[in-house]
Each structure stands twice: as structure tokens, then as C-alpha cells.
Amino acid sequence: MNLTTPDTTLPGTPKTRTPRASKPDATPAIAPGVASVTQLTAKLAEYLSPTELKKVKEAYRFSDEMHLGQVRKSGEPYISHPIAVAEICADWKLDAQAIMAALLHDVMEDQDVKKDELIERFGAQVATLVDGLSKLEKIEFQSLIEAQAENFRKMLLAMASDVRVILIKLADRLHNMRTLEHMTDAKKRRIASETMEVYVPIAHRLGLNNIYRELQDLAFSHLYPVRYRTLAKAVKAARGNRREVVKKILESVKGTLANAGLEAEVYGREKTLYGIYKKMRSKRLSFSQVLDVYGFRVVVDNFANCYVALGTLHGLYKPMPGKFKDYIAIRKLNGYQSLHTTLIGPYGTPVEFQIRTQEMHRTAESGVAAHWLYKNGDSNLSDLQQRTHAWLQSLLDIQQQTGDSAEFLEHVKVDLFPDSVYVFTPKSKIIALPRGATALDFAYTIHTGIGDHTVAVKINHEAATLRTELRNGDIIEIVTDPNSRPSPTWLAFVRTGKARSAIRHHLRTINLNESVELGQELLAQALTALNIRPDLPAPTIEKLLNESSANTMDELYADIGIGKRMAALVARHIFGLIDDELVSVPSTQHASPGELDPVTIYGAEGVAVQLAPCCLPIPGDQVIGQLRRDQGLIVHTHDCVAAKRTRAKEPDRWIPVQWGQEVNRRFDCRIRLLINNEKGILARVAAEIGESDANISYVGMDEDDEHVMTQLRFTIQVKDRVHLAHLIRNLRGVAGVTRVERERN
């Protein structure tokens, strides 16, 4: 994904500065007219004071001067783009500072105007907004991806302190997407892909549904132009065929609501092309099979009449079972409220209805921009603004716990996932989480400290595992222990960015020494395999740190120890930096990666080394290790099915490991027994396990239909394979036990 803005203008000759290059511009199927300052002034005059309007005109004149001589690839003067962005912001009735920032949003990036100059001319707030919208082009990054991630991180953090930043940025992106046609096909796809991946979910998260839908369709038209045109043609043909059906439904609904004494606006709406396309893809339907291309919206005067209208419509047409959703009682994460129901209309056609009030309708269309007020305290904010503020604040929390920009971007993109699940605390407070979130995600959503110390969870008053996926309506109760700490295995199932960043932050800081030691050992082995002495001289270390973006060797070792960097790749990088005298033998005699000395493990290394829960290796087993990002070294048995499957996909992440000679602890192991279902059998088995010097940490039982044979499952703690073999032999001698075996995977 590319988060840079491409060059789309031709050079010009301004009065004072030479413009460098301008930003991407885009074009829709129907190109809009060129924006004019007259239209913008007319819109602003409706709600800004004369003093504010004067300041906006000053910003316009300055921007016009800076962009003088610059033109877009379409041939329009470049100033038309900032004016168009400001017009979109004016439609939301954003304040004068935001409009000024919209007009000036490219002067720092394109014309090298300094922030201090903007502060002097237009004030600190306007300058800060423009700075948040400008890219970090002066900084050199290790890679394009890193630069993109850092640009996006900067924008989101600026948004966290002032949401106007992202509103202006979305207006900027919308106009660029509307005018994308003059770009090359490759740039169209790249910009459209970035829009779909980043800006569409942000618009949805902020409740800006009009922009969300338009950006989706515009991105779809440039990513899949043939599919877009084909589908547009099919929808146009279907309009004529379905016009009578739509007219009949409208007349029936309006008449029925009027007879019920309800004042309501009723109108049909056509689903977006991307929405139709997505439904065809997800449900594997042809266009002719997508019956609900049209939906209807009913807007009533007050909250109570939403439910009255719902009952009236259910009396007119039969509702489809399972197709009713109440987003009024439990609103969506972005503040959206409506009643959704699907009815069987004339000719058996399913018809979707959305029922809402005027206030809900404004929020549904414009989201956080629908209630544009800047207050001094959270108590004065609308509910939607408070929700948005809480999400933006979570971005700052993630930033504080995140090591680099790419990781920050990864976490935020996870939280932009549009679908949500709604659960309750024991005190009936509603918590919204991404679809697929687990009980542990819930704990971290409440507070990072609660998540870090979580040991157990109850869902609907029954014990459940931390990895249990939550469902709508679940009541969650978290059990904590002040001595508990996060486990690297948690990263395998948490869903939210906040949980992932908090766990990774803990693993990086609390368990740093263990990770450093493991990373040092792994790098030494990788260097030895290349016949390079591990004791690197100071000049080589300095070069390595400069090129790896690590501050110290301990930081580099820790990254290797938690799997964030590959020891073999770092070793090869060092090989390109070293002098010949550091190589102990000619390079033609270098060992292959398969000849690395095994890493010795003792099972007590802490979180830097984890025993895989799928196969539960114990001393004496043949083992192999997997370096997993931010989880360190995961040890599997050599015949583990899960390990074989993963090893085939990522062979470079696997290294040889071996057990140490002196292991002074016990290890979990699973065994399965087939027994006759008779009185006292469980007591005899448990007693034999105890007499064999093994501990029981879990027991489960499965009966057959006739209740003749029973299968017992134990998780026991043993010293090694010899101890396990002795235990299995003893269990086979217990009366009533017909089979005993170790359970794997």
C-alpha cells in the first residue's frame, strides 16, 4: 500500500516560490465542474461571521499566490483543488480555522512554506492543522513502506488531538478520487487501493457515510473498471424493469403510514455499485439473483414513532425471519442509529427498510461532522463526539506502546475493521468491539492494567477461556490476579490493536533481558554458520546499527529474540559490512543454514522460549524451534502436524533446538485413557497417577451412547519421556483401563 501522494501537476512559475510538484488528482465517471471561490464564499457566508470570512479570504489569497503557475494534469489551475476541498468542508459547516487549513493544506508540502510563517499569518491552530496534513518528505526512511507508515502515523496522531485534520484529509482524498482520470492506470490502481484500504474504513469509523459510499464506488471504478462498467450497465437496465415495483411499494408504504397517523418522509434508494458487487462476491450470486438492489428509507419525527412505523410496515408486508436489527437501542460504534428490517414485498421480492428520525438521519449521513461543535469539556460533547474522542484517544495509547510506525499502522488498521459486536459489563454498560474479538480483548478495552493481570473470564456467568470469541449480548466478567503477566501466546488470538500493542509493549520491556540473551545466542549461531566471528568490531557494529534503525545492540538482540528480526538475515547483512579479516575461512566454505548448531533449551527460559500448546513437547522428545514475530522461540515436537504445516510455508523461520542436560522442572503432557464405565475407576486412575509422582492439572471425560466405555483425558505434569513411559506402564495395569496413549495435536 502506498501512502504517499503522487505527482500530478505540471511545473509553473509563481511570483515568489518555485512550486515543487503537486498532489494526486483523480477523476470520476462524471467529472464535476471546476470549483470557484465565488461558490465557496456563498456557502461560507451562510454560517461564518464577516470577521471570519475576511480571514478565510486572506488564506485564499495566500494559497493562490503560492500555487500561482501550478496546474493540474487536467489543465485546471491548481488553486481549484484547495477551493474544492474547502467547499466539501463548508458542506459540513466546519469552522473558519478548518476552512483556512483546507485552502492552505498543500502550501507546506508543495511550496516549502514554513510552519512559523503560517503561525505568524494565520495563527497557531491553523498552522498545526496544515502541519498535520503535510507529509514528512524531509526525513530519510529505510524503505518506502516505512515512509508511508510514518506519514500515516503522523496524520492519525494529529487527528487524535484535533479531528478536523482527518475531516480535511478525507475531503482532500474525495476530490482527488473524483478527478483521478488523468493519472496513469498504475497510479489509479495504487491510489484507489490505498483509498479502499485506509480512507474508506476511516470514513466509516467516523460515521461519514456519504463520503464512505462515494469513496468505495470511486475506488471500485478504478480498481476494477471493466466490472464497474458492466455492473453499472446492468443496474441501469434494471431500473426500467423495476420502476413499477418501486412505485407500487412507495405508494403502499406512504398510504399505510398516513392511515396510521404518522408523518414520515419515504423514499427509495439504490444500493451502491460496490455494495451490490460485494454481495455478489460474498454470496456467489449473479446480478439477476441480487433482488434487493433497492432499499427504502422512512424518516419520522420522533424516537417513539420509529417503532410505530416498524409495526405498521410489518402489518403491510411480511417480515423475513432473522432480518431485523435494532441499531437505535444499541447504536453502532460510529454513532449510527436506525431500525433495519427486510420485508417480502410485491411479487415475492425482498425489500429492505431503514427507519430513523431526522436527527438520526443527519448523523447517519455526516457522522461526527453532523454535530460540529468545539467545546472545552467532554461533558459538553454529544454522545457521538465522545465515542469518537475515546477512539482517537486510544490511538495515542497505542502510539505510546508501539515501537515503530509500521506496527502502529498495523494495529490501527485492525481497529478500523467495520463490523462490530456489542457485549455488556456486569453493570450493564455496553462495550463495542470488532467482530471476532475475544474475552481478552474485552479486558484490555476496559483498561490495560486489567488486561495485563487477567487470569480467567466468565461469559454469561459461566467459565470460559480467554480466547473465546464474543457474541452480541454476552455479559463478560473478568477475573484478575496482581501476580499475573501477559503471555506471548495471547498474541495468537487477540483481535484489537489496543490489546496487541499492550501485550507487545509488555513483552518488549518486562522480558527484555530474556529476549536479549536469546537473540544474542541466535545471532552468534547464525554468524558462526557463515564463518564470521561473533565478536564484531566497533566500526561494524556502528554500521549495522545505522542501517538497521536499532539504537543499541541490545535492542537488536531483543528484536531477534522476540522474532521481529531474523537472525540469519541480520547475519547476512553483517556479512556485507565486514572486512575480510573477520571471516575465519573462505566464503566458499560457509555452512548452510541447515548446519546451524542447535539452540539448547531448558524449559525455564521464561517468555522468550515457549513450548507449543499444540504438541506440548517434554524433555526427551525430538524438537524443533520456530521464531515467531513478537513471541520469541516456539518449540514443537519434530512430528507435530501444526509445525509441519507452518514449516512448509515459512522454512526460514525454523531453527534446530535441543534439550539441555539438566532440566529441573515439570512439563505439561496430555494423555488419553479408554476405560470401562464402572464404579471407582476414576479414583483408581487418579491414585495411580499420584503414586507415579505426576501431578494432574486437567481432567475431562467423554462417554459413548451406550455408557459402556468412557474416554478420560488428562493433562499431567511429568519430568521427561522416561517419567511419562513409567506412568503409562503403571496406568495400563489399573483394572478397567483398556488403553492408554499420549495425546498429540
Cα first-last separation, the chain: 37
Enumerate residues 6+ apart whose C-beta is below 8 A from 127. Answer: 115, 116, 118, 119
Residue 378 is inside which H or E element, if any? none
Residue 649 is inside which H or E element, if any? helix 641-649
* Residue pair 5/135 in contact by the 8 Å Cβ criterion: yes
Please report where in the chains the cell 515436537 appears, as a residue: 637
- Residue 591 C-alpha cell reads as 555452512
Task: Give the closest residue to 209 by CA, choosing from 87, 385, 386, 337.
Answer: 337
What's the maximum distance between 2 C-alpha atoms anywhere in the chain?
99
User: Looking at 87, 110, 172, 605, which residue is catalytic?
Assistant: 110
State phi, psi for 436 to the nearest 5 degrees. 95, 0
Told to judge if 109 belongs to the known catalytic residues of this protein, a careful annotator would answer: yes
Task: Give the closest residue to 658 by CA, choosing from 700, 631, 621.
Answer: 621
Residue 724 is inside which H or E element, if any? helix 721-732
Q: How far apart are CA 522 and CA 608, in angstroms?
A: 12
Task: Give the closest residue to 336 by CA, choosing from 382, 367, 295, 304.
Answer: 367
Residue 737 is inside which H or E element, if any? strand 737-742
* Residue pair 427/477 in contact by the 8 Å Cβ criterion: no
The three-state DSSP-derived secondary structure of 410-450 is: HHHHHHCCCCEEEEECCCCCEEEEECCCEHHHHHHHHCHHH
User: Looking at 25, 109, 217, 452, which residue is catalytic?
Assistant: 109
Based on DSSP, count helices (H) and strands (E) in the chain, helices before strands: 28, 22
Please report where in the chains the cell 454560517 appears, as a residue: 47
* Residue pair 177/192 in contact by the 8 Å Cβ criterion: yes
Q: Are strands 350-357 and 339-344 parallel, antiparallel or unpaired?
A: antiparallel
Q: Are strands 350-357 and 325-326 parallel, antiparallel or unpaired?
A: unpaired
Please report where in the chains the cell 450493564 appears, as a residue: 428
Binning the chain into helix, strand and coil, the percentages to the nearest 5 are 50, 15, 35
Told to judge if 251 belongs to the known catalytic residues of this protein, a careful annotator would answer: no
State phi, psi for 299 to the nearest 5 degrees. -110, 115
Provide DSSP, 46-107.
TTS-HHHHHHHHHHHHHHHHHTTT-EETTSSBTTHHHHHHHHHHHHTT--HHHHHHHHHTTH
Q: How far apart are CA 714 and CA 291, in angstroms?
A: 53
Q: How far apart are CA 19 and CA 67, in angstroms?
A: 7
Provide DSSP, 286-338.
-GGG----EEEEEEESSHHHHHHHHHHHHHHSEEPTT--EETTTS--TTS---
Q: How far apart are CA 56 and CA 413, in angstroms?
A: 35
Active site residues: 109-110
